[in-house]
Amino acid sequence: MKTQKMQDQIFGVIVLAVAAFYTVFTFLIPLKEGSDIINARTVPLLLAALMWVLGICQLVTARKADTKPLDKEARDLRTVLKTAVLIVVYIALFEPVGFLITTMVYLFLQFIFLTPADKKPNYLFYGIISLVVSLFVYTIFRYSLDIILPQGLITFF
């Protein structure tokens, strides 16, 4: 992603890839017998066609795009990746382990991951906040919104 042109081209390719994916699955939509001209595939086909057109437009205009290097935006991909994995694990364990435990652990770890480099993580403070937020949210949902969040291992309240 060094130049605007490259970025625009990559985007064009992504659009075409999405279009291809969507087109294939549109043709896999089952049709009912006697479906007339307008059926469950009509609108998806129209959208797929639009995506192809947009992808091509994007690639065509990208040819004339700026080739000057973009400002270097350093993305801290390590932290992004750690956060993404943490979120996936959190959601995966949300139901089996239960809201309280997973949320506490998620918050605690997420606070640590996102702590600015020039600041030391304050574990005690993070722990307390994680605990308080989880308990507070659970109680509010359970007792005032009547929504039972996954209880998992803690089934006693």
Partner 1 sequence: MKKRQLFASVMAGALLLGTLAGCGNNSSADGGGEEWPTKAVNVVVTASAGGDTDFNARTFATYFEQVTGQPMVITNTAGGGGSVATSEVKDSKADGSKILFCHTGQMIVNEVAGLIDYSMDDFDIACIPAVDKGTVLVASKASGITSVEDLVEKAKAAPGEITYASELGGYSHLQGLILMEKAGIDLKILDIGSASDKITNMLGGRVDLAAISYGAVKDYAETGDLIILAQYNEERNENLDPDIPTFVECGIDFVMEKPYIIAFPKGTDQAIIDKINEVAAQIAEDPDYQAALIEGYNQPAEYIAHDEALELLAQTREDYMAYQDLLQ
Partner 2 sequence: MLELFAQGFANVFSPFCLVLMVLGTVIGIIFGAVPGLSSVMAIALFLPLTYGMDPGQGLSVLVALYIGSVSGGLVSAILLKIPGTPASIATCFDGHPMLARGEGAKALGAGVFYSFLGTIISVVALMFIAPQIAKVAINFGPHEYFAISIFSLMLIATLSSGSMVKGIFSGVLGLAFATVGIAPLDAVKRFTFGTVALSDGFDVLTVMIGLFAVSEVIKIAEVAKREKASDVAQVNMKVKGFGFTVKEFIQQIPNAIRAALVGLGIGILPGIGAGTSNLVAYTVNKNADKKHSDEYGKGYIGGIISSETANNASVGGAMIPLMTLGIPGDGVTALLLGAFMVHGIAPGPLLFQNYGPLVYTIFVACLVATVLMLVIEWYGMHIFAKVLKVPRHILLPIVFVLCVVGAFGLSSRVFDVWAVLIFGVIGYFFTIFKVPQAPFVIGFVLGSMAETNFRRGMMMSDDNFLDFFTKPIAAAFLIFTLVYFLYVVVKEIKKAQARKTASGQAV
Element (H, E) at 78: helix 77-97
Q: Which of 6, 13, 20, 47 touches partner 2 (CB under 8 A)?
A: 47
Scan residues 103-132 and list those touching partner 2 (CB under 8 A).
103, 106-107, 110-111, 113-119, 129
Residues 6+ apart with CB under 8 A from 41: 26, 27, 29, 31
Kindly state whether residue 101 participates in binding partner 1, applying the rule CB under 8 A.
yes
Signed CA dihedral, 53, 54, 55, 59: sign only: positive
- 55/77 Cα distance (integer angstroms): 27
The yes or no reply on residue 20 touching partner 2 (CB under 8 A) is: no
Q: Which of 67, 76, 123, 128 binds partner 2 (CB under 8 A)?
A: 76
| Burial readout 125-147 (b: 16 or more C-beta within 10 A, e: otherwise) | ebeeebeeebeeebeeeeeeeee
72 lies in the binding site for partner 2 (CB under 8 A): no
Query: Does position 13 bind partner 1 by CB under 8 A?
Result: no
Q: Can you tell me which of 17, 70, 84, 154 binds partner 2, judged by CB under 8 A?
A: 84
Q: Which two tokens stand for residue 3?
A: 């130049």
* Contact flag: residue 24 with partner 2 (CB under 8 A): no
Binding site for partner 1 (CB under 8 A): 32, 89, 93, 96-98, 101-102, 105, 108-109, 112-113, 121, 123, 146-148, 152-153, 155
